[in-house]
Chains A and B, each alone.
Chain A
Amino acid sequence: MSFWKRLRARWRAPRGLKFTRSGRTFFVVTIGIGLGALNTGNNLLYLVLGLLLSLIVVSGVLSEYCVRDVKVRRLLPDAAHAAEPFAMRYELQRERGLGFALSIRELAPGLTGEAFVAVVRAGEPTIVRAQLTAARRGPYPLAELEVSTLFPFGLFAKTRRLELPETLLVFPRRGFACVEPPESGGAPAGDGGNPRRRDGTGDLLGLRELSHGEDARRVHWLKSATYGRLLRVEREREERRQFVLSLAERLEGEALETRCEELAALARRLLDRGHEVGLDTGGHRIRPGGGPGHERRVLSALAWVGFER
């Protein structure tokens, strides 16, 4: 953090207070009644003025009670894609007292949306969900979030900032159609690369004796025990191809974004079809693989492109 940022953080007011629209009108009416009381000397107007001013003070005190003792824990989403809503969860907790009408908002630029909870009780962690939307892909440094309340009268929004440093990784935007890439030039390596081998995960083809050096995980233990020797299962191998998606190094700006989105869509589609997908972003390379975990690795790598520093 730079010196100025630190200085600004040090001198920042511990709470923010903002008028709502009705709060502004209320304030104007209060000023008007005050002027009327001073001008006419009408004691009942003084009484009304006193009540309105006291309500403002009480509003400040009650809202402070709501935001003061609240602890927030952020529960990051499994997957967040740019330009579409995703669920961010927050765990709110109070040691004592009650909190009412609390809104939670991320202060990171580019993230919109907020969570709302009506009541938070002491000692009962409350999970609330916010529908956030990220404008772009990439990592979002979530340094602070804002807890605010309109309680009790909706005249002012009392805000407290909480430091909760974490990083939210937003995957590229979804919904792009693109042409299928050519098959990878390199032949599949190892047992898994030979489509004629009967070591797939498809339908059962038969049993045969286990040869030396073969994978013991293929042994059918029940039949082996029946026949007294190690028998392995042979299954039909599904047609699987390998693709390595590559990203040109020199891409920047809109072109880079578009390419990332295309590659993300391609990777998802290929992985859905059972193919193995790898990624080459120039500085970073992921070997072809499959499954949900691999898809996440590919999308994460695409999300980081351009933000490595």
Chain B
Amino acid sequence: MSPQGRTRLRLVLRDLSATSAFASIVLSGSVPAWALVAYLLALFTSLAGRRPLSTRPTFSVLLLLLTGLVLFGAAFRGLMDLIVAACVFAGLVTSHRMLSESTRGTDQQVQLTSLLMLAGGAALTGELWYGACLGAFAITSSLSLALGVLEPEGGSEEHFDVKPVMGRVGTGTAFAVAGAVAFFVLFPRLSWNIAARRQPPGLLGGTTGMSDSVRLGGAGDIKSNPRVVARVRLSPDPGVDNLDAYFPGRSFDVFDGREWKGSGVAKRPRQLVSFKRPTRKTVSQNIELLPAYGSRTLIALEHPIGFNNVTAVGSAGSARTPVVEVADEEVRVELPGNGYTYTALSDPDATLDALEDPSRYDALPSELDPRIGQLAAHVLNGEARPLQAALLLQKYLQRDFTYTLELEGSPADPLAEFLFVRKSGHCEHFATALTVLLRSQGFAARVTAGFFGGERIGSAYVLRAGDAHAWTQVFVPGQGWVTVDATPEAGRQNQPARVLAWLTSMYERLEDLWRARVVDYSFQDQLQFAQQLVRPPQSATKSEEVTAPLPGAAPVAAAAVTAVVVYVVVQRLGRKRRAGDYRRNKASGFLDQIEARLSRAGIVRLPGEAIEELTLRLTDGAHPMAPALAKATRAYLGARFGGASLSADEQARLLAALTPPRVG
């Protein structure tokens, strides 16, 4: 490869390594948009081979320092996180160096500032993509640095193949990554992860759609969104692959004909919310609401009886946060955060004898289409029991109505449109229809929004944005709120494209592995690992172990023969290669043999004397070996520097002539 080609490759690799490091902090979502734009501009300018700052070093450095002062001033005044400010400054320094004149020193500065960004990224994010950025940085920066050291300070005009360099450094980097993993696993964790951060949802924003109201109309785009918004660990663990459970978040009691709203009153913030005492059947849930969740409403399995240990995780770290209970409506977090973790307790057998304010749950909109009440009465045919009535209406809706996400237009009365015209809709239409039909017959009912689903990935169940759902809860005296879901089963869970679902599932598995094995790796895990090494888990029964047959003599013999064959082949190949090396080096080898002959004859080269000078000296002194030595020297010089051929026979002949004279 030509020197220009090598330089170009080195700079591209350098820029890619810097970009990997910068991406690791961009992942956190904390980088201001202007810094991102500035870096991208610098990257593309550098990739285009332009170095505009090489002509204005002083001005650009002053500008950089000024930007640094502004950034750290903002951090000092609390307008920006200090780590984010430091990372952004490192990114700007990297951009500056990328646009400056390219030298080995500049390259190394880019790598070092990139390293600082990578360390900052480790503090700002814990996502799987960070691992990808780290790997990409390790490979590209290693190759770039290696290509840099191959060039002498003053530059070089030498052409050579860089593939061997790439191969050697690539292998070395692979070993370095393996070493990093070994260090990571074995180095004792003496402290806890006290600086965990959760990045903001990024450019896509929160996708859950958990808002203050449920408005009928519009397409249900969210059902095809596979983004994971929550992870739930259950205790006791049901161990099933698909949980198919309801996770209510918020209930709505007031319907105005188009929109559901809540009328609950918020209580004062508390560190924990407890409705009832736990029982044996209480299910504990460690829930993590991810940045994509995009709401402060807490979710839990049906019949939640308590929420505690609520922690808001933000860009500046994690902090316990109080929660606010809105009576019969929702429990939400007081302080904003990018994500939340908490423990929820749910009791499937929890009962409620009577409602505090029943009038909240049977009110109807003032301009309700009269056909709705008639329809309900017709379907119920005098059924007075709330649960049976709800089930009858559910059966009617699931039989005569279809589920669709493709809804066009914005009708004036969306409920009547759904019930009497379109006869198709999504979960909000079904839930609203069932609730209003029940209320029209005097039953207390409400619409609840939350999630339905739970796909097992690793040890946790994940909830996706597409699992967002709305359903009806009917009040049954003595039992409390009972869920009756009118939406056809096929429309309850998320419905992404098959390939997308597979990809997101794979990603989630990797992400889960990353979180379990890397981000949350602890001293406890190290102890377990050590125990497994000392005392491996017994998968087989004792009797099986005892009776397990030892390998017979034949496999051992075969292994031994194979080992011997491999050894012999390797030895022969090595010998052949060494012989080949010698052939390529015949001139130098020939000189060594000449010197050995001369040495045996007692002729020693003087310090600093070349072979041709020795030949002249012997010729001047009329040494008897001089003529033979002159021929051999001429042949050596011709082969070594003149490109002349020197066969093995000729070498042997010339060496044979170099015999010491016989005395007497």
Q: Are A50 and B122 in contact (CB under 8 A)?
A: no
**Which of A57, A91, A100, A149: most chain B CB closer than 10 A?**
A100
Q: Are A58 and B179 in contact (CB under 8 A)?
A: yes
Q: Are B158 and A40 in contact (CB under 8 A)?
A: no
- B172: shortest Cβ distance to chain A, in Å? 4
Q: Is B643 an interface residue (CB 8 A)?
A: no
Q: Are A123 and B172 in contact (CB under 8 A)?
A: no
Q: Are B168 and A91 in contact (CB under 8 A)?
A: no
Q: Is B134 an interface residue (CB 8 A)?
A: yes
- A47: shortest Cβ distance to chain B, in Å? 5
Q: Are B134 and A93 in contact (CB under 8 A)?
A: no
Q: Are A61 and B172 in contact (CB under 8 A)?
A: yes
Q: Is B152 an interface residue (CB 8 A)?
A: yes
Q: Is B635 an interface residue (CB 8 A)?
A: no
* B182 surroundings in chain A (CB, below 8 A): 50
* A40 surroundings in chain B (CB, below 8 A): 123, 191, 193-195
Q: Is B581 an interface residue (CB 8 A)?
A: yes
Q: Which single residue of chain A is at the shortest CB-CB distance from B519? A: A43
CA distance A153 to B184 in the complex (A): 22
Q: Are B158 and A50 in contact (CB under 8 A)?
A: no
**Which of A29, A98, A154, A168: most chain B CB closer than 10 A?**
A154
Q: Which of B152, B172, B181 contacts A58 (CB 8 A)?
A: B172
B175-200, CB under 8 A of A: which get 1 and which 0? 11111111110010111111110000
* B121 surroundings in chain A (CB, below 8 A): 44
* A44 surroundings in chain B (CB, below 8 A): 121-123, 125-126, 130, 134, 518-519
A166-180, CB under 8 A of B: which get 1 and which 0? 111100000000000
CA distance A281 to B142 in the complex (A): 60
Flag the segment in A31-39, A209-217, A236-244 that touches B: A31-39
Q: Which of A22, A42, A50, A100 contacts B183 (CB 8 A)?
A: A50
Q: Which of B134, B146, B169, B582 contacts A51 (CB 8 A)?
A: B134
* A58 surroundings in chain B (CB, below 8 A): 172-173, 175-176, 179
Q: Which of B183, B577, B585 contacts A125 (CB 8 A)?
A: B585
Q: Which single residue of chain A is at the shortest CB-CB distance from B182? A: A50
* A43 surroundings in chain B (CB, below 8 A): 126, 184, 189, 193, 518-521
- A68: shortest Cβ distance to chain B, in Å? 14
CA distance A110 to B149 in the complex (A): 27
- A81: shortest Cβ distance to chain B, in Å? 15
CA distance A247 to B654 in the complex (A): 46
Q: Given A100-B165, A153-B146: A51 and B177 within 8 A (CB)?
A: yes
Q: How large is the interface on A (under 10, 10 to 19, 20 to 34, 35 or more residues)?
A: 35 or more
- B191: shortest Cβ distance to chain A, in Å? 4
Q: Is A195 an interface residue (CB 8 A)?
A: no
Q: Is B350 an interface residue (CB 8 A)?
A: no
Q: Are A42 and B150 in contact (CB under 8 A)?
A: no
A69-83, CB under 8 A of B: which get 1 and which 0? 000010110000000
* A147 surroundings in chain B (CB, below 8 A): none
* B577 surroundings in chain A (CB, below 8 A): 96, 122-123
* B521 surroundings in chain A (CB, below 8 A): 43
Q: Given A51-B138, A152-B142, A168-B608: A46 and B172 within 8 A (CB)?
A: no
Q: Are A76 and B179 in contact (CB under 8 A)?
A: no
Q: Are B112 and A26 in contact (CB under 8 A)?
A: yes
**Which of A39, A55, A124: most chain B CB closer than 10 A?**
A55
Q: Are A98 and B582 in contact (CB under 8 A)?
A: no
- B458: shortest Cβ distance to chain A, in Å? 17
Q: Is A87 an interface residue (CB 8 A)?
A: no
**Which of B115, B156, B173, B192: most chain A CB closer than 10 A?**
B115
Within B244-301, the residues touching A (CB, 8 Å) are none
Q: Is A302 an interface residue (CB 8 A)?
A: no
Q: Are A53 and B183 in contact (CB under 8 A)?
A: yes
Q: Are B584 and A123 in contact (CB under 8 A)?
A: yes
* B82 surroundings in chain A (CB, below 8 A): none
Q: Are B179 and A54 in contact (CB under 8 A)?
A: yes
Q: Is A299 an interface residue (CB 8 A)?
A: no
A81-122, CB under 8 A of B: which get 1 and which 0? 000000000010101101011000000000000001011001
**Which of B104, B138, B142, B145: most chain A CB closer than 10 A?**
B145
Q: Which of A95, A152, A168 contacts B146 (CB 8 A)?
A: A152
- Interface positions of A (Cβ within 8 A of B): 22, 25-26, 29, 32-33, 36, 38-55, 57-59, 61-62, 65, 73, 75-76, 91, 93, 95-96, 98, 100-101, 116, 118-119, 122-125, 139, 149-154, 166-169
- Interface positions of B (Cβ within 8 A of A): 104-105, 108-109, 111-112, 115-116, 118-119, 121-123, 125-126, 130-131, 134, 138, 142, 145-146, 148-152, 156, 158, 160, 164-165, 168-169, 172-173, 175-184, 187, 189-196, 518-521, 577-578, 580-582, 584-585, 588, 607-608, 610
26 A–B contacts, CB within 8 A, in A order: A29-B112, A29-B116, A33-B119, A40-B191, A41-B189, A43-B126, A43-B518, A44-B125, A45-B123, A46-B184, A47-B131, A50-B181, A51-B177, A51-B179, A55-B138, A58-B176, A61-B175, A73-B588, A76-B608, A101-B149, A118-B150, A119-B165, A124-B584, A124-B585, A151-B146, A166-B608
Task: Give 8 A-B pairs besides A29-B115, A51-B177, A139-B607 with Cβ atoms closer than 8 angstroms.
Answer: A26-B112, A36-B123, A44-B519, A55-B176, A58-B176, A153-B142, A153-B145, A167-B607
Closest 5 CB pairs of A and B: A123-B581, A54-B179, A50-B183, A167-B607, A44-B122
